[in-house]
Structure 1
Amino acid sequence: MKAIVQDRYGPADVLRLVDIDVPSPGAGQVLVRVRAAGVDPGVWHLMTGLPYVVRLGYGLRRPRNRVRGMDLAGVVTAVGPGVAGFTPGDEVFGTGAGSFAEYTVASAGRLAPKPATLSFAQAAAVPISGQTALAAVRDSARVRPGQRVLVIGAAGGVGSYAVQLAKAAGAHVTGVCGPTKLDLVRGLGADEVVDYTRVDLPDDRYDAVVDTAGNRPLSRLRRVLAPKGTLVLVGGEARGGKWLQGFDRQLRALALSPLVGQRLVPLIAKESTENLAALAGLIDAGQVTPAVDRTWPLAGAPDAIRHLKGGHATGKAVIVV
């Protein structure tokens, strides 16, 4: 089968399209014929091995898993021992171990039936970003009807879902994004949209702030947060040292949160069939729609990652296999 692989950490130039063996599903795993695969910042982190703390879990000198990609949508072709609920021919979405390939294996607990209203490309844009946004809005911020929510990076992969999920929860939502993405964020349902090139952040106070941009100090974010509000930090894309980069904010938030009235929450998202099913229900009900920026063929995966890292993506970038 064709797959995008890497044998060392580095920029997108380290990625190669090669022929490798089709994997076999083990106990609790499903073999999926990949029809589309999403591109998210996690792919860039695993490709570059940055920050260095990433390598502690994925390989010190080189990636243990050569095939890149995590988000997927496709068709089940085989199931391993102990798998219930999936049979060959089922259309699924979720996350797998190397989805930039014609086939991949995935844990059955990280797959769910593909939403009937979505194409494979749309469905592949959901799993990681959608579940991250769900964890931010539902689990960490605990957004309730009538609350005021600020989403920073509202046109990105996670931000585009966070806007829609907060609206679905009954909140008044303000989205912060660049000038070329204002219409997209309005279309996602934001009540107000702020162009960060004109105004860094609004002067209002919010019950919840979901920051997906990763480049503002905690002190600045706390100034737009209500005295008892919740700040959710998603990712760590700020510039900094190679060991932690922007993830140092998460550590400082953990240390500061017990000392102040505001809740400062570094986000940890869980991938599960249950969370995917919750998203699928909202999607089929018309409350959430994936924002797909562009699609690339499998051989174009390096360009898709460059496009994402350059800040050009409006919504999600997707590889069509």
Structure 2
Amino acid sequence: MKAIVQDRYGPPETLSLADVDTPVPASGEVLVRVEAAALNAYDWHAMRGDPRIARLALGRSAPRARIRGRDFAGRVEAVGTDVRQVRPGDAVFGDLGDANGAFAEYVCVPEALVAPKPVNLTSRQAAALPLAGTTALMGLCDAGRITSGQHVLINGASGGVGTLAVQLATLHGATVTAVCSTRNVDLARSLGADHVVDYTRDDFTRDSRRYDVVFDLVGNRSLTALRRVLTPTGRVVLSGGGVYRGGSLLGPVGLIMRGRLLAPFVRHRVVVLATAPDRRYLDTLRAHAEAGRITPVIDRTYPLHEVPQAIRYLEGEHARAKVVITI
């Protein structure tokens, strides 16, 4: 089969299209013919092994997972023994987690990490949901504990997670403030944001508005600044670092570590989000999508052999919402 492989850390040029063996499903696994895969910031961090502290998990001198990519959608080709709920021919979607391998024609995945594809979404749309949607659900519902009537700010509202977070926060009855650049103001409004802050003109941390939940997907403000705009019982949820340019030991992990250290000593709740693939979140996302409550936003699509160009586009931070690979 064809796959995008990588044998050393580095820029997109370290990725190449190669012929590799088609995987065989083990017990409890399903073999999926991949129709689409989605890019995440995780992919370029894993590609570069950056920040360097991430190599403790990814592999010290080279990535342990040779094939890149996490999110996928496709059709089940075969199943291993002890698979109970999935059959050949089923349309599915899922997140491979740190195992990677989605930028390929076929992938083996544990049955517990796939779910039926939303019937009203294309494979491209479904591939855009797993990691971004799980992060948005966990950040708002689990960590943020949002309720109807609360005021929620989403910093990084035009990204893959942010575009889904705006829709989910609106769905839960929150008053949503979206922070994004000038070109994405209309997009944020179209997704349901009640207020939009153009960060090229205004600094939301100097505004008079106060929020019950600040969901930070960018990492470009200090914890002090984020806490300044909270209500007395407000929460900051930290996830990711979209403006990080690379080349340091800690990168956006530094803000996350400070959040963990500070959390026990401040009146506000500071929550560091840790995500992992989970079928429960896929089922929730499918239900919302099939009911028309959320719709993935896709910026661009690329064929499999152009994954290096797609990651270069994502790295340059010109992307909004999701970039998807067709296979």
Fold shared by both chains (TM-score > 0.5): yes
Q: Note the C-alpha offset of 1:161.
A: 1.0
Partner of 1:271: 277
Partner of 2:263: 257
> 1:246-288, CA deviations, whole angstroms, 9 ceiling, x for partnerless residues?
1111111111111111111110123111110001111111111
Is the CA contact (8 Å cut-off) linking 2:150 and 2:175 kept in structure 1? yes
Aligned residues: 321
Alignment partners' CA distance in 1, 2:221 and 2:214: 12
Alignment partners' CA distance in 1, 2:26 and 2:241: 33
Partner of 1:236: 241
Alignment partners' CA distance in 1, 2:52 and 2:58: 10
Q: Note the C-alpha offset of 1:306.
A: 1.0
AA matched with 1:209: V
Taking a change above 3 Å as real, the CA distance of residues 16 and 108 of structure 1, as seen in their structure-2 partners, is same
Two-structure CA RMSD over aligned residues (Å): 1.1
Alignment partners' CA distance in 1, 2:27 and 2:250: 35
Question: Which residue of the other structure, out of 293, 298, 301, is the alignment partner of 2:299?
Answer: 293
Q: Note the C-alpha offset of 1:108.
A: 1.4
SS at match of 2:285: helix
Partner of 2:3: 3
User: Are residues 1:208 and 2:218 paired?
Assistant: no
Alignment partners' CA distance in 2, 1:105 and 1:214: 34
Identity value in percent = 50
Alignment partners' CA distance in 2, 1:314 and 1:55: 27
Partner of 1:158: 161
> 1:114-137, CA deviations, whole angstroms, 9 ceiling, x for partnerless residues?
001100000000000000111001
1:73-222 to 2 correspondences below 5 Å: 73-96=73-96, 97-201=100-204, 202-222=207-227
AA matched with 2:235: T
Question: Which residue of the other structure, out of 266, 284, 287, is the alignment partner of 1:281?
Answer: 287
Gaps of 5+ in 1: none
Q: Note the C-alpha offset of 1:109.
A: 1.4
1:50-69 to 2 correspondences below 5 Å: 50-69=50-69
Structure 1 segments of 4 or more deviating over 4 A? Answer: none
Q: Note the C-alpha offset of 1:110.
A: 1.2
SS at match of 1:245: coil
TM-score (normalised: structure 1): 0.98
Question: Which residue of the other structure, out of 279, 291, 310, is the alignment partner of 1:304?
Answer: 310
AA matched with 2:312: R
Taking a change above 3 Å as real, the CA distance of residues 226 and 187 of structure 1, as seen in their structure-2 partners, is same
Partner of 2:38: 38
Is the CA contact (8 Å cut-off) linking 1:4 and 1:301 kept in structure 2? yes
TM-score (normalised: structure 2): 0.96
Is the CA contact (8 Å cut-off) linking 1:239 and 1:246 kept in structure 2? no
> 1:153-186, CA deviations, whole angstroms, 9 ceiling, x for partnerless residues?
0000111111111111110001000111111111
Gaps of 5+ in 2: none
